[in-house]
Chains A and B, each alone.
Chain A
Amino acid sequence: MADAKDKKKNPAASASSAGPGTTDTGEGAHDEGHGHGSELTDVIELGSRGDGLSKSALGVGIVGLVLSVVLGGGVFGLTFQRAYLAAFMWGLSISLGALAWVTIQHLMAARASIVMRRLGEVIAQGVIIMALLALPLLIPVLMHDPVLYSWLDHEVVEKFHLHSKEPWLSSASFAVRMAIYFGFFIVFARFLLKTSIKQQAPGQGLALAAKLQARSAPGMIAFAILLTFCSIDFLMTLDPIWFSTIFGVYYFSTAILTFCSVLMLGIIWLQSRGVLSSAITAEHRHDVGKFMFGFIIFWTYIGFSQFMLIWYANIPEETHWFHDRLEGSWKPATLVLAALHFAIPFFGLMSREVKRNKGAMVFWSLWVLAVCWFDMYWLVAPNFLKDGVSIGVVDITTLLGVGGVLLWFVLWRAKDVSLLASGAPRLDQSLAFENI
């Protein structure tokens, strides 16, 4: 905190030396009005405040996973696998969204978001547990069990002439790629958190901020490519014939959405426990709300482009994927997805007052998390449930299982670190941030 105070006294010095992202003409030292930058007395450690939630999350998670395995016909059962994949991709999107968001903040040398950056860094640690949670999906692939991925079945390969895809669609290359994805995600997430913590040491802020920004550029490139292929491998290859070049972007939009919702819920929960209660203001929450609103539109843009182009050209090897999702009871399900994922939250999140209201944002964050899960379900299930929609107990228990374990892990990681990136240069500007 002392560091932040020093910066406050000399904002010009910090701005001009804080790396190339800042500007002179665009110097937005909004230091009028809100003086709490210099006298921040917030609690910035979680300590034991999250123990109760953490314990119940772990309990729910374990019970959920066990129940899912039992009710879903074992680890190799189709019901379990398909429900688990949707829940897993949902959980993974939260962690990956956090990773992307933190990287983008570094890249743009963003000021407004600094007070929330540590939360993002901690949530991004979820990739570690998600790597472990990937094992139930990976094991059947390694054992050449085509329960989920039909390309492991030789007959399917023969029938649909998939030989040319074999270098990609084989259990060995799948496993190698998984190792690369999660290896990178974990290393990168840990790097971002560790370096950010090191910034708290006196005199480290500026140098490490420059380092974080410099590493974020290649990091973002690698991340974009790996996130794309990760989503292609887990979701797109469920239908080994279908292909869409925009698929990675689609999953990316979900990732940012789920992360922003979790961040919003996290902030409100922490503040209700008396943590960061004055550092993060309605202005910051408003900003997260704008991100949610923006990405609601972005998701629609990407989803509609993908649908419209495939619908319009009507080429059999592409159209069948949407045909599966527009047959029988899947058609209303698809329309419901569009309504729940776009139309309703679009109008719901439009107002400035809503984005600044805690109660409303709890509602909309939960809403967005729920529809993003439904989106994942919609990507996975129609490949298997040709007769129509059926959301069973296992779909819910896997979601609770993955969500519970992920929440427990993130809370556990959050316990020992400061929840405010207090070493970051220009923290004072973030504290004083105001929307236009």
Chain B
Amino acid sequence: MVTPSTTNPYQGPLKGDNPFAQITDNVSRIMEAPKPPLAWYIALGFALMLLGIFGASLGYVVWEGIGAWGHIHPVAWGFPIVNFVFWVGIGHAGTLISAVLFLFRQNWRTAINRFAEAMTIFAVVCAAVFPGVHIGRPWLPYWMFPIPNQMGMWPQFRSPLEWDVFAVGTYATVSILFWYMGMIPDFATFRDRSVSTVRRFVYGLLAMGWRGSSRQWHRYERAYLLLAALATPLVLSVHSVVSFDFATSQLPGWHTTIFPPYFVAGAIFGGFAMVVVLAVPARQFFGLKKIITMKHLELMAKVILATGMIVGYAYAMEMFIAWYSGAMYEQFAFLNRAFGNFAWAYWTMIFCNVLSPQVFWFKKMRTNVWVIFVVGIIVNVGMWFERFVIICTSLTRDFLPANWGAFIPSPIDYATLAGSFGLFFTLFLLFCRYLPMVAMAEVKAFIPEGHIHDH
């Protein structure tokens, strides 16, 4: 048992006489320090506790059947699907920051892209758990894959739920490839700095013999660009496909053509908010304030504001078209959202997603760590409620009043929701400690000393 260090080993001056060495030291010492700070242990303990709750409650659901959740007719898609869409949404910011901002030459992304990518993967893991259990028989998930079987059956490729399997599966795979590829040079740095044989072996294995050859860098950069160019339409497609789960139906409030871009914008919005929520404590506790600067947080605040406005645009378009359509059910669905049984959830969503980011119009707010952090949390709450509103208001009040019903979440619903955060934070905290949290090579490439200064 290691006793946690009471003083933060990640503060204090950086070793090295040039900016490259200082960047290396700033990132590598997180992994190299013998003991992480107390805060890390406290956070990990809390996360493990939540993870335990997650395991126990999911175990109960598997044992007892998914009726343990608050599902009841007509809400067969309750919390699990809300949580699924929520986590998949969170999982979009990483690839967005890595790929889309890369294509748009937003070089500030280098400070945050690595842990945003990690966040993506962990969020997708959390997301995948929910439909995995929600299928009812979680020991048969391979039925979703096109595996030849004795029944001579194939999956139904025309179902949006099957598209989800492929979209989320591809997304998870490509995100991991992208993440891993980005880490190869940094693993090499860790390898070369390691003093213990075990670390040298493990990081050496992960670095695959990377030695920084320029001929290799050339292909590496091209591959990175290609992956970014592939990941950009992919990231759009994934949440579009998730939106198709709803939009291909005929249910009022679900069937609307703006869903694909609206879901994507919402995902970016929520994902950025989560990046902010993670970045603020991470830079504090791991001494990364020189790399993740106030400027980065401010830019992320701006992205949150911009995507929040896009989400607001989608809310407004839905309302307008519902009125304009003249279709009774459409009109009712949206009136019901705003004034019906879940009106409180709707107005929570509006407050969190549209109103709260408005503080970012002011530079003072954009540069205040606490404001950014709190708004980040509020936006995450709002994005969860957005999915809740979409799923639950439409399902509880559809075409036929005879088919209406109520939805009351069970304690297991709350336990699995809270528990999924445990899984997410546990993975994230382990990542912070053992993997390169910042893309050192990329950060070095964009400081002025990293350029060739002549003809």
Contacts and interface: CB of A to CB of B under 8 A. Distances in A.
A45 B64 CA distance: 78
Interface in A392-420: none
A70 interface: no
Given A25-B443, A161-B326, A313-B250, A301 B258 contact: no
A225 B104 CA distance: 25
A168 interface: yes
B249 interface: yes
A25 B110 contact: yes
Interface string B235-259: 0100010001001111000011111
A245 B318 contact: yes
Interface in A183-226: 217, 221, 224-225
Given A162-B326, A245-B321, A28 B107 contact: yes
A244 B321 contact: yes
Interface stretch (A71-79, A84-92, A302-310, A378-386): A302-310
Contact of B247 (A30, A217, A224, A309): A309
Interface stretch (B8-16, B144-152, B418-426, B444-452): B444-452
A248 B327 contact: no
B137 interface: no
B295 A301 contact: no
Contact of A243 (B108, B249, B261, B324): B324
B107 A26 contact: yes
Nearest to A30: B451
A33 B261 contact: no
Contacts of B256: 245, 309
Contact of B452 (A32, A301, A302, A314): A32
B455 A306 contact: no
B2 to A, nearest CB: 34
Contact of A25 (B111, B248, B258, B309): B111
B34 interface: no
B248 A313 contact: yes
A313 B105 contact: no
A232 to B, nearest CB: 8
A241 B453 CA distance: 63
A400 to B, nearest CB: 33
Interface in B96-125: 104-111
Contact of A309 (B244, B361, B443): B244
A301 B260 contact: yes
B302 interface: yes
Contact of A301 (B109, B240, B293): B240
B430 interface: no
Interface string A292-318: 000001000110011011101111010
B291 interface: yes
A313 B249 contact: yes
Given A29-B451, A161-B326, A165-B326, A310 B299 contact: no
B211 interface: no
Contacts of A168: 324
Interface string A305-344: 1101110111101000000000000000000000000000
Contacts of B302: 20
Contact of B236 (A164, A221, A244, A301): A301
Pick from A107, A302, A309, A312 the residue with the most CB of B within 10 Å: A309
B214 to A, nearest CB: 15
Interface string A20-37: 110111111111110100
A175 interface: no
Contacts, number: 128
Contacts of B135: none
B317 interface: yes
B248 A244 contact: no
B261 A26 contact: no
A30 B450 CA distance: 11
Contacts of A244: 257-258, 321
B448 A27 contact: yes
A90 to B, nearest CB: 23
Contacts of B105: 28, 112, 436
Contacts of A310: 257
Nearest to B325: A243
Given A32-B452, A245-B317, A25 B447 contact: yes
B177 interface: no
A305 B108 contact: no
B454 interface: yes
Interface in A1-31: 20-21, 23-31
A246 interface: yes
Contacts of A25: 107-108, 110-111, 291, 293, 295-296, 443, 446-447
Interface in A51-71: none
A249 interface: yes
B398 to A, nearest CB: 14
Contacts of B298: 20
A298 B127 CA distance: 27
B381 to A, nearest CB: 24
A309 B453 contact: no
A342 to B, nearest CB: 13
A26 B326 contact: no
B106 A225 contact: no
Given A26-B106, A228-B317, A246 B261 contact: yes
Nearest to A298: B236
Contact of B299 (A23, A302, A317): A23
B233 interface: yes
A241 B361 CA distance: 39
Given A35-B455, A221-B309, A26 B446 contact: yes
A301 B233 CA distance: 9
Contact of B110 (A26, A31, A224, A306): A26
B225 interface: yes
Contact of B261 (A32, A305, A315): A305
Nearest to A107: B306
21 contacts: A25-B108, A25-B293, A26-B110, A27-B448, A35-B455, A107-B306, A162-B326, A225-B316, A244-B257, A244-B258, A245-B257, A245-B258, A246-B261, A247-B257, A249-B258, A305-B260, A305-B261, A306-B257, A309-B248, A309-B257, A313-B247
Interface of A: 20-21, 23-33, 35, 107-108, 112, 161-162, 164-165, 168, 217, 221, 224-225, 228, 241, 243-249, 297, 301-302, 305-306, 308-310, 312-315, 317, 436
Task: Please name the 9 residue pairs, one residue from A and one from B, whose CB atoms are nearest each other, closest first.
Answer: A26-B107, A245-B258, A23-B108, A26-B108, A246-B257, A312-B248, A305-B260, A246-B258, A243-B325
Given A25-B447, A33-B455, A305-B240, 7 more contacts: A31-B453, A162-B326, A241-B326, A245-B317, A301-B240, A313-B255, A314-B250
